[in-house]
Amino acid sequence: MIDRPPICAMVGGMSENEAQRMILASGSPRRREMMAEAGVDFEVVPSDADELHDDSMDLFALCEVNAELKAKVVAERHPGRLVIGSDTLVAIDGVKLAKPADMEEARRMLWRLSGRTHEVCSAVALVRTGERPVSETFHVISKVTFKELSDEVIDAYYREVDPLDKAGAYAVQQCRELIIEKIDGDYHTIVGMPVAETLERAKLLL
């Protein structure tokens, strides 16, 4: 059994005025849900930044660059507001697994992860423009070990989970008992953003 730790138990209080100065530059429903679960109020402004796809960059650097790109686009349009951008990538054998283009690619990704341990990197950029500019970027790494999968298990999993908007073609928060043996590290990093650390850092910048 993989427990889902409550974010609200890990994050200290943040004043209403502080929270209202924050913008989440993401259209991800999972990141929005985690921020809301943390008990803070915030505005959502999805970023339209063009993400970088560069196989020559290591996992951590690429993740941080894309998080920063997302945050900067929104921050330029909202000076004075602290903007949170985030990016998540899965990697195994040095190969980055982003969002699959179709179900065939999704199945190939799960077969690659079957019975093995891989890394999940979620990077966060905290950016503010205007009179008090700031720019801080960090990343957190967690590891996920998959069970040995079969065609039947993958079919059952994909009947319940849409993989096409998920890095690595799976979601740790959905039907994980079918595919995941264990996780090592921060659960919320695997979902899409290390929310507790993000908000602790954000409080120091507001």
Longest dimension (CA), the chain: 57
Beta bridge partners of 191: none
Please say whether the beta carbons of 25 and 45 come within 8 A.
yes
What are the Cα distances from residue 133, in Å, to 80, 130, 197, 199? 8, 6, 20, 18
| Locus of tokens 């990197």 | 121
Cα–Cα distance between 119 and 123 in angstroms, integer? Answer: 13
Interacting residues of 195 by C-beta distance below 8 A, sequence separation 6+:
7, 11, 31, 34, 35, 37, 38, 188
Give the C-alpha separation, 146 to 158, whole Å: 15
Tally: H helices and E strands in the chain: 8, 7
The one catalytic residue among 41, 54, 55, 87: 87
Look at residue 124 and give its three-state secondary structure. strand
Indicate the helix (H) or strand (E) that contains 49. none
Q: Is 87 known to be catalytic?
A: yes
Residues classed as catalytic? 87
